[in-house]
Amino acid sequence: MGGGRAGRARQAHPPALPAEAEQWSADERALAEDVLAGRTVVVNVRKGGPHRRLVPWLTEQDLVVYVGHASNRHSWPESDFANPFVREARTDRVRMVEHYREWLADQPELLRRLRAGELTGRALGCWCAPEPCHADVLAEQAGG
């Protein structure tokens, strides 16, 4: 599994939902439709997670950008947008998200990339969704 390449040119016409989308949950279909409409969404990349049927299709269509840390437990690459406060999730997820929001405000290069649309219209892959997550901050900043 790749992490999607945020700098890669997107398809001129967005793909349609595949036939197998009928087997997806209502949430997965809604997220896919949002991405196809150009909105930024957050998806859970866990193989057994709530978006397990959606993520492979998003990856195949180059519509997912992983925004977490690399690990020997998975094949997603390290993201520049990864959360440096991830350990706080175990004790205070809401505060962790606020720490990320404050940290991001002091990251001019990441903010420039967000303003340039690098994450706009993409599915941001993380491990937290649907729980509060730093990817929610990125989606807000990207115009999700």
Q: CB-based contacts of 1: which residues, under 8 Å, 6+ apart?
A: 45, 56, 59, 74, 75, 76
Question: Looking at residue 88, what is its pLDDT?
Answer: 85
Rounded to whole angstroms, how far apart are CA atoms 119 and 117?
A: 5
Amino acid 2: pLDDT: 44
Tokens 């706009």 identify what position?
Answer: 120
Question: Within its chain, how far is the Cα of 29 from the centroid?
Answer: 16
How far apart are alpha carbons 56 and 102 in whole angstroms?
32
pLDDT in the model for residue 1: 44
Four-CA torsion 33, 37, 38, 39, nearest 10 degrees: -50
Percent of residues in the chain assigned helix, strand, coil, to nearest 5: 40, 10, 55
Domain ranges of the chain: 24-67+82-141
Mean pLDDT by 10-residue block, N- to C-terminus, for the chain (144 residues)? Answer: 47 77 97 96 97 97 97 95 90 94 98 97 96 96 85
pLDDT of residue 4: 45
One-letter identity of residue 137:
V
The model carries a pTM of 0.88
Using CA of residue 75, residue 102, residue 122, residue 119, what is the dihedral sign? negative
